[in-house]
């Protein structure tokens, strides 16, 4: 029994683009399943589509998997006992099995031209029959074949679908029956000699000793074909588990590049400041739940708790809000030095921070990150949330101006505060705070009324970290400069 063997699973992307959220979810489920069972996780590259497969895509897939921490034990780039793990390098292996299928009368050459296939389709439509290859070339004689070859026709190889009903057992979807009439004699080798997915996948799953095929439900329709090819080749059939689809919204459409653009590419999340821990936690909940309500899982917990039994049948909806929430959670779980390290590339990319940080600047930066606190949904938010710490080049937000500068005597307040701040020698949190409070008290203005005009002057915004933190982190000279600039601005514009 295949289930008595050590667990071996594979992720088998086609390198025709970036790693998609759905693909990453499939990789993750395979990876955790392997870890949970102490098994082996294999990365195979299904690049039988020569025209659409690219090296760049392969590299991007490797990078994204590595970023997520989904390292493979065996497979492309790392090797292993059942290689090569890139299908385009396995041509000889497939040819041998195609020969076996032809010789055992489980496959045949088909010489039908595109024109003949179109006519076949049209006739089926006219007779209201399902559109299916009729099996026309099943019984060609040697003479027929020679005649076609003399005409220069290049044959495909078709798998002969046996009669009867095939029962598919799926660990997630349960049992289903597929009548052979629903299947047609599948092309397994193209006329240019390239073998196709259903054949190569079946052969490789066997040779790579795959015990469980865990993949998206969009491949479910391939499963009966693969089971039949397995049988014809005398292979044992692996356990199948088809994961529910990832939908783009509750309207039911599949998450796709065409409809959802950048939302589908794992690499974009990395670029936009998501943490791999958040992605993993998010991806695992696309289809799997522990008790239905628990949302936060560390990788170790996942490995311990994961089981295919708790993968649901119903499709999951991709909810960016939830991912953002998880990301905020995991950002705050980083300790301050790690959080600082994590935001540095984003500040540098925005040219807000120099590349060679002095030790003093690094200490200061940690304090800025500490002050920003839990205001980051993504790491890249740091540039929005905190740019005024790094540059004088910021605008006053119109809403903030309207609310805090247009009402009352903003100029008078700023002038008063300027004087207080200019008189402080030890520009530290305690001194600044008590000097400002003393001033506010003396003048009998409300605290908020005094603080907010200053906040707008220093940051351009009406919200953000504690104002005393900002004041001290900016330093006396900058604070005075910005208050002066605000006063000038107000006097010129009001």
List active site positions: 257
Is 14 a residue that touches ligand GLU (CB under 6 A)?
Answer: yes
113-152 positions binding ligand GLU, by CB under 6 A: none
| Residue 311 or 436 with smaller CB distance to ligand GLU | 311
> Would you state the structure tokens that stand for residue 373, as one six-digit string?
């606190």
Q: Determine the interface stretch with ligand GLU among 6-14, 158-166, 278-286, 349-357 (rule: CB under 6 A).
A: 6-14
Nearest partner of 88 among 174, 163, 166, 16, judged by Cα? 16
Q: Which of residues 61 and 474 has its CB atom nearest to ligand GLU in the complex?
A: 61
**What is the spatial distance between Cα 213 and Cα 204, in angstroms, rounded to a whole number?**
11
Q: How far apart are CA 335 and CA 473, in angstroms?
A: 20
Q: Which is nearer to ligand GLU, 201 or 471 (CB)?
A: 201
Nearest distance, CB of residue 222 and ligand GLU, angstroms: 7
13 vs 39, beta carbon nearer ligand GLU: 13
Which one of 9-17, 91-99, 155-163, 439-447 is the stretch in contact with ligand GLU (CB under 6 A)? Answer: 9-17
Q: What strands, in cross-sheet order, belong to the sheet with 187-189?
A: 107-110, 156-159, 187-189
**Residue 215 Cβ, how far from ligand GLU at the closest point, in Å?**
4
Q: Of 13, 75, 238, 244, which lies in the binding site for ligand GLU, with binding defined by CB under 6 A?
A: 13
Residue nearer to ligand GLU on the CB measure, 46 or 469: 46
How near is the Cβ of 433 to ligand GLU at its closest, in Å?
Answer: 59
Smallest distance, ligand GLU to C-beta of residue 219, A: 5
* Closer Cβ to ligand GLU, 216 or 273, answer by number: 216
Which of 7, 29, 34, 46 binds ligand GLU (CB under 6 A)? It is 46
Nearer to ligand GLU, 86 or 450 (CB): 86
- Total of chain residues touching ligand GLU, rule CB under 6 A: 7
Map the footprint of ligand GLU across residues 209-238, applying CB under 6 A: 215, 219
Q: How far apart are CA 375 and CA 382, in angstroms?
A: 8
Residues in 169-208 at the binding interface with ligand GLU, rule: CB under 6 A: 201
Choices 11-19, 74-82, 275-283, 316-324 (CB under 6 A): range interacting with ligand GLU: 11-19
Residue 378: CB minimum distance to ligand GLU, A: 28
Interface segment toward ligand GLU; rule CB under 6 A; list 12-20, 91-99, 110-118, 486-494: 12-20
Out of 7, 8, 9, 12, the residue judged to bind ligand GLU by CB under 6 A: 12
Alpha-carbon gap, residue 96 to 98, rounded angstroms: 6
The residue whose Cβ lies closest to ligand GLU is 46
Contact positions vs ligand GLU (CB under 6 A): 12-14, 46, 201, 215, 219
């Amino acid at each position: 029994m295949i289930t008595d063997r050590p667990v071996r699973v594979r992720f088998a992307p086609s390198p025709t683009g970036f790693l998609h959220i759905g693909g990453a979810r499939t990789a993750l489920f395979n990876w955790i399943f392997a870890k949970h069972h102490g098994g082996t996780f294999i990365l195979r590259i299904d690049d039988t589509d020569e025209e659409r497969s690219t090296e760049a895509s392969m590299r991007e897939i490797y990078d994204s998997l590595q970023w997520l921490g989904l390292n493979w034990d065996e497979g492309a780039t790392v090797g292993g006992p059942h290689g090569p793990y890139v299908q385009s390098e396995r041509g000889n292996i497939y040819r041998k099995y195609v020969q076996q299928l032809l010789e055992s009368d489980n496959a045949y050459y088909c010489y039908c031209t595109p024109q003949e296939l179109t006519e076949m389709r049209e006739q089926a439509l006219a007779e209201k029959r399902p559109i299916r290859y009729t099996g026309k070339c099943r019984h060609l004689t040697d003479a027929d074949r020679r005649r076609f070859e003399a005409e220069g026709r290049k044959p495909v190889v078709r798998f002969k679908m046996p009669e009867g009903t095939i029962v598919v057992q799926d660990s997630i979807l349960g049992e289903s029956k597929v009548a052979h009439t629903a299947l047609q004699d599948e092309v397994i080798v193209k006329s240019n000699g390239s073998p196709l997915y259903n054949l190569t996948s079946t052969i490789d799953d066997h040779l790579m000793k795959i015990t469980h095929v865990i993949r998206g439900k969009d491949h479910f329709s391939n499963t009966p074909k693969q089971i039949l090819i397995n049988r014809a080749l005398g292979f044992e059939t692996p356990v199948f588990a088809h994961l529910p689809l990832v939908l783009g919204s509750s309207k039911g459409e599949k998450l796709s590049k065409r409809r959802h653009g950048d939302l589908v590419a794992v690499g974009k999340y990395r670029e936009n400041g998501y943490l791999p821990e958040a992605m993993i936690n998010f991806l695992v909940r696309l289809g799997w739940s522990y008790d239905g309500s628990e949302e936060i899982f560390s990788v170790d917990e996942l490995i311990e708790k994961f089981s295919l039994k708790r993968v649901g049948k119903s499709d999951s909806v991709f909810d960016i809000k939830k991912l953002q929430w998880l990301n905020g959670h995991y950002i705050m779980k980083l300790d301050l030095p790690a959080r600082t390290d994590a935001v540095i590339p984003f500040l540098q990319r925005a040219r807000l921070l120099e590349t060679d940080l002095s030790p003093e600047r690094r200490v200061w930066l940690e304090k800025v990150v500490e002050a920003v606190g839990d205001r980051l949904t993504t790491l890249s938010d740091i540039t929005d949330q905190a740019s005024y710490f790094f540059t004088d080049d910021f605008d006053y937000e119109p809403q903030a101006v309207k609310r805090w500068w247009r009402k009352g005597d903003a100029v008078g307040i700023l002038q008063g505060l300027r004087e207080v701040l200019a008189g402080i020698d030890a520009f530290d949190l305690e001194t600044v705070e008590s000097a400002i409070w003393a001033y506010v008290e003396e003048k009998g203005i409300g605290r908020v009324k005094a603080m907010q005009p200053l906040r707008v002057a220093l940051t351009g915004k009406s919200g953000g970290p504690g104002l005393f933190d900002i004041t001290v982190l900016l330093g006396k000279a900058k604070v005075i400069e910005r208050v002066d600039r605000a006063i000038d601005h107000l006097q010129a514009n009001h």
